[in-house]
Amino acid sequence: MFLANRPNRFAWALWLGLCLTTVGLPPTLAAAKHRLPNIVILVADDLGWNDVGYHGPELHTPNLDRLAKTGVRLERHYVYPTCSPTRAGLLTGRNPSRFGIQAPIAGRSGQTLPKGTPTLASALKERGYRTALFGKWHLGLRPESGPRQYGFDRSYGYLHGQIDQYTHRYKNGDRSWHRDDVFVDEEGHATDLIVRETVRFIEAGGDAPFFAYVAFSVPHYPLQEAEEWTAPHETVIPNPSRRLYAASVTHMDAAVGRIVEALEKQGLLSETVILFTSDNGAQEEYHSETDYDGRHGPYPVLGDNRPLRGWKGSLYEGGVRVPAFLYWKGKLKASQLRSHSSLLDWFPTFLTLAGSEPNPDWRLEGRNLWPQLSGRKKGAIAPVLYWNVGKAAAVLQGDWKMIVSKESPSGPELYDLARDPAENKNLAGGNPAKVAELQRVLAAQQALDP
């Protein structure tokens, strides 16, 4: 109860120590004098499974690799296959289709995350956290539906789903760059501006813990990178568009390094839990003669989801399974979580670390992952994972995944991911009982959508 009244820091930390002792944190972290942890979420845009150094040797990501090596690698982390739905699910802990968000919010759409929806930001803010978003929002395209309407004290970046990295305008020319939900014009590459503002926020300090949601604009097209970032790839990546993609990833990786360095300089790294994830799988290619007045592209080769099947927008693993890890210096051991984790899990997990529990009225659909992440509990069975993208839907129960498309005349697709993670063999024809079972599971989930 006293959390709602914002108690003094010692009482708050004492309560946190008692709470976290029950979920497997080391005794040193549960000490009464330990402050609530800062929370940083880093989201790449359209980063593929094989586009991080710790999954494949082609791209240079030394900062991400270092964090992943000493943190918990999430080797079966699931998101939605496109950006707006993933961001809605990440911030609300609920399936985005519950809000009617099944695809990117585009054009001059008035669609938004419904006002008054509880978010991770609003929940942490109630618990005394300073909350800020830096980078991509994409849950409302106008300032009146910007991040500050959903629990963020501060917001800086862009409202739309894609922007020119230097003009910061949307593909149709609309303004998007803002500070605290007010349009502004600034010079510089979006990656540099996003990390600059994040570092300033960290350096500003304060007695209260903070939540920083850092949503990068890359490696989403349009790709615009200086020679500083393209040069390291000149002799190793022959395709020009793939080389630009790699440069944007290297640029983002350096930005992550600057954020970690700022935390170290402020003595906050051991007090900060860091989640890194992509919003969806990589896009295969891009070409448009009208977007950005035809100034950018074509990009015949972009990301790399190998060995997974499919691309951004697809319900195959390549669209919904992404590179991700959790890092907390001195609190998490280097390990790999091979059981399912989901974008929906972070709201309840981080709220637990903030010394609280979700309100049942919020109807969160994720689960607290801390027992698995801390190593106290192993082999937990994930809840049913569900995707509804309008023209297609899917469910994942255990290792069985079923995809149903309204445009497919051949019926459902069924895959056993334990034996066939690349989804090469459709087993639906030989497993009618499993298909019927998952169809019932799918129908139950669809009944919860508006």
How many angstroms separate the CA atoms of 239 and 300, rounded? 9
Which residues participate in catalysis according to the annotation?
Answer: 83, 138
Q: How many C-beta neighbours within 10 Å does residue 357 have?
A: 12
Pairing label, strands 341-342, 77-78? parallel
Integer CA distances (angstroms), 310 to 53, 318, 389, in order? 20, 5, 15
Cβ atoms 139, 88 nearer than 8 A:
yes
CA distance 255 to 327: 16
SS3 182: strand
In contact, 308 and 49? CB cutoff 8 Å: yes
Residue 160 CB neighbour total at 10 angstroms: 24
Question: Given CA atoms 115, 118, 122, 128 in this order, what sign does their dihedral have?
Answer: positive
Report the half-sphere exposure of 354 (CA within 13 A, side-chain side). 30
8 A C-beta contact, residue 133 and residue 216: no
Distance, CA of 402 to CA of 307 (rounded, Å): 19
Question: Sheet of 38-44: strands edge to edge?
Answer: 182-183, 177-179, 154-158, 130-136, 210-215, 38-44, 272-278, 324-327, 72-74, 335-337
For residues 418 and 440, give the distance between their C-alpha atoms in angstroms, rounded to a whole number.
Answer: 22
Residue type, 398: G
Region of 297 (left: φ > 0; alpha: ψ -120 to 50; beta: rest) is left
Q: Which long-range contacts (CB under 8 A, 24 or more apart) does 33-36 make?
A: 35/9, 35/209, 35/271, 36/12, 36/127, 36/128, 36/129, 36/209, 36/353, 36/354, 36/355
∠ CA 329-339-400, rounded to 5° = 160
